[in-house]
Structure 1
Amino acid sequence: MPAPYNANTTTTELVTDYKALIKNKIILTTGVTPGSLGGSFVQSLAKAEPACLILAGRNTAKLEQCVCDLQTANPELKTRTLQFDLGSLKSIRSAADQVNSWSDIPAIDVLVNNAGIMATEYGLSEDGVESQFATNHLGPFLFTNLIMGKILRSESPRVVMVTSDGHRLSPVRFDDYNFDGGKTYNKWVAYGQAKTANMLMALSLSSKLGVKKGLLAFSLHPGVIFTNLGSHLDWSGDVGLQSIDRQLGNREGWDEFNLKTLERGAATHVYAAFDPALKANNGAYLIDCHVADWLVDTVKSWGTSSFEAERLWKLSEELVGEEFAY
């Protein structure tokens, strides 16, 4: 019988259970900063003797602080850092070139697309795409595909997309992903669109490369954790989230937040990256260290549709200016 993992499971418990699966693995994680889910995730993995932890992020100083903390606690740990901006296709291409040039990193066993932004004011990326859709989806889409050759050299390749139950707020707006130049913009609807895209990307990867190449891909909701992701929002008042949920008829419009600690939040990262039983559920959306249950958990059909996933793949190729035919 599988272990009864749930919302209270911690990274420490999972790393203990999966130690043999983590040992000697090369794991690349984006969005690693002190006091974040990404930071908590890599700190937990370091105890299981991975071959190398690659820490990626936008802020070099924060990356170096994480490396310092990791190696202070784990002197023998091998690390690499990778600085790039997920909101810039040019920056992403440069970072992917770096990864592909590393001769001492023959393969990447697990890629965790953890970085993202949430409920920001309207803006466009340098490539002309709404900033949340650009940073949370297009950036990981391009980066993942550009380093796919190294991922597929692993004996057990996995890609993890950190999404959110916030996908409930919107499907992908295929004909108006830029919100009519900001005229129809709502920061939470835009967040929902981007998080739905994360789910659909995992679904596409599992469909295109699961049977052919043995790639496992999953999306996950880590839970509600107050990190620097939402530090720009005043949570003491109405940030606009509850009113949208009520308009949509989502139960979250009336529920109170069920807060998690970082160690409980990052547990589903570990579960998605290493649980062996998940092979039977390739492409699944995960929550609280289990495959999401449509009867209990918030799962919108627009985030699990193979039709929507293929439609998004084509749109994403168009927006990044490159096709990835697997």
Structure 2
Amino acid sequence: MSPYNADTTAEEVAQDCQSQIANKTILITGASPGGLGAIFATIIAKYKPASIILATRDIAKAEETAREISTVAPSVRTWCIELNLSSLKQIKTAAEKINLLEEQIDVIVNNAGIMATPYSKMADGIESQFATNHIGHFLLTNLLLPKILEKKKGAVRVVNVASNGFRFGPIRFEDWNFDDGKTYNRWIAYAQSKTANMLFSVSLAQKLRKKGLVSVSLHPGIIQTRISRDLAMEDFGELSQLDRIQGYRAFWGLPYHFKTPSQGVATHVFAAFHPSLEFPENNGSYLVDSQVVAPKIFQSWARDPLEAERLWALSEELVGQKFEY
């Protein structure tokens, strides 16, 4: 039973995981100042990781986060890598640069994302939320894993930052692009991408647990960060309507419980480092409030191994590359 809850801070979890953080190399996507990735990086930097790789779209913002890290932990090496998750070509370039670093990555935290954006497609023709939140991370992770697994000295972790918004919909295998926007609903599209994050962790756990890989997904909670900068509170009223339409009575009239930034990244720290997740039964889990969520209490479409395998095949098709382990 986890001793943590919704009010647990990242510092509390990091204190408990000091030995697991020490000397590790961590790759974080989405590391702009004020975002969850940057907050996570700055907090764990105090516990003596070897290095932190900051991969984000705006390299200047990654460099700003690196300066914040150097202020609190001057001995931690930092690397800033340009990463545009909406371009398959640029993701491949970023992966090449990361693979050339003289660093042995221990933990990948796929944290970057967008939420409830207007309909658009990335350069490769994929709906933007599905592309940025899942397909980009699918490609990046799989381009990095061969080197990581070849040279690994201990357990490797891949953390996929999802959301409890996954409840609004499964993967639309026959129409992931919402009929080129004709049937687009921004929250259902967001749900599809977050379901994908969860299924990606299921797939990685299935395929690579025998090689020492642990993969989990998580819901960080509701935190006011840049990801929701274009949304007003009335926009979240659409979620209440969807909860009623889909029959999620437990959410009807439920007030939003906002977390502090530190409380928001506590589950990031737990997911990336806590030793309890190395138990075989926890590999592939979905985490909330630094606790493993029992599979029987959330929707099957986000945990079913057959759905996960189907998504893996679709993802390979969309990136034009197979990854067989």
* TM value normalised by structure 1: 0.95
Residue of structure 2 equivalent to 1:55 = 54
Whether 2:4 is the aligned partner of 1:5: answer: yes
Structure 2 partner of 1:292 = 293
* Deviation at residue 93 of structure 1 after TM alignment: 0.3
Give the match for residue 108 of structure 1.
105
Code of the residue aligned with 1:132 in structure 2: it is Q
Greater helix proportion? 2
How far off its partner does 1:312 sit? 0.2
1:77 aligns with 2:79: no
Provide the rounded CA distance (Å) in 2 between the counterparts of 1:203 and 1:125: 26
130, 134, 154: which one aligns with 1:133? 130
* Post-superposition offset of 1:293: 3.0
Deviation per residue, 1:116-139 (Å, 9 max, x gap): 000000000100000000000000
Residues 1:283 and 2:281 aligned together = no
The question of whether the paired residues in 1 share the 8 Å contact of 2:2 and 2:291 is answered with no
Distance change >3 Å, CA 88–CA 24, structure 1 → 2? same
Q: Which residue of 2 aligns with 1:203?
A: 202
Offset, 1:254: 2.5
- Residue equivalent to 1:145: 142
Q: CA deviation at 1:252?
A: 2.4
SS in 2 for 1:158: strand
Q: CA deviation at 1:166?
A: 0.4
Moved more, 312-321 or 277-286: 277-286
Unaligned regions of 5+ residues in structure 1, if any?
none
- Distance between the aligned counterparts of 1:170 and 1:82, measured in 2? 33
Query: Hey, what does 1:179 align to over in structure 2?
Result: 178
Q: Is the 8 A contact 1:233 1:239 kept in 2?
A: no
After superposition, residues 114-125 of structure 1 pair within 5 angstroms as 114-125=111-122
Provide the secondary structure at the position in 1 that maps to 2:108: strand
- 1:220 and 2:222 matched: no
- In structure 1, what is the equivalent of residue 246 of structure 2? 248
CA RMSD of aligned residues (A): 1.3
TM-score, length-scaled by structure 2 = 0.96
Contact 1:244 1:253 in 2 (8 A): no
Judging changes above 3 Å, is the alpha-carbon distance between structure 1 residues 303 and 238 closer, same or farther for their aligned structure 2 residues?
Answer: closer
Q: After TM superposition, give the deviation of residue 151 of structure 1 in Å.
A: 2.6
Residue aligning to 1:188: 187
- For residues 114-163 of structure 1, the C-alpha deviation after alignment (integer angstroms, 9 at most, x for no partner) is 00000000000100000000000000000000000233232110000000
- Find the aligned partners of 1:234 and 1:316 in 2 and give their Cα distance: 32
Contact 1:246 1:254 in 2 (8 A): no
SS at match of 1:240: helix
Structure 1 counterpart of 2:271: 272
What fraction of aligned residue pairs are identical, expressed as a percent? 49
Confirm whether residue 90 of structure 1 aligns to residue 89 of structure 2.
yes
Match of 1:28 in 2: 27
Q: Distance in 1 between matches of 2:93 and 2:2?
A: 41
Does structure 2 retain, via aligned residues, the 8 Å contact 1:268–1:289?
yes
Q: Please state whether the residue corresponding to 2:121 is helix, strand or coil.
A: coil
Q: Deviations 1:284-322 (Å, cap 9, x if unpaired)?
A: 001100001356x6x211000001000000000000000
In the comparison of the two structures, how many residue pairs are matched? 320
- Structure 2 CA distance for aligned equivalents of residues 151 and 169 of structure 1: 34
Q: Is the 8 A contact 2:28 2:108 kept in 1?
A: yes
Give the drift of 1:35: 1.0
The Cα of 1:3 is off from its aligned counterpart by 5.3
**Whole-angstrom distance in 2 between the partners of 1:255 and 1:9:** 21
Deviation at 1:84, TM superposition (A): 1.4
Partner AA of 1:28 in structure 2: L
Output the CA distance in 1 between the equivalents of 2:247 and 2:312.
29
Secondary structure at the counterpart of residue 185 of structure 1: coil
Q: What secondary structure is seen at the aligned counterpart in 2 of 1:120?
A: coil
CA contact (8 A) 2:95 2:143 kept: yes
CA distance in 2, matches of 1:81, 1:237: 34
Helix, strand or coil for the counterpart of 2:233?
coil
* More deviation, 7-16/129-138: 7-16
CA distance in 1, matches of 2:108, 2:146: 12
Gaps of 5+ in 2: none
Superposed structure 1 runs of 4+ greater than 2 Å apart: 236-239, 251-254
Equivalent AA in structure 2 for residue 130 of structure 1: E
SS at structure 2 position matched to 1:96:
helix
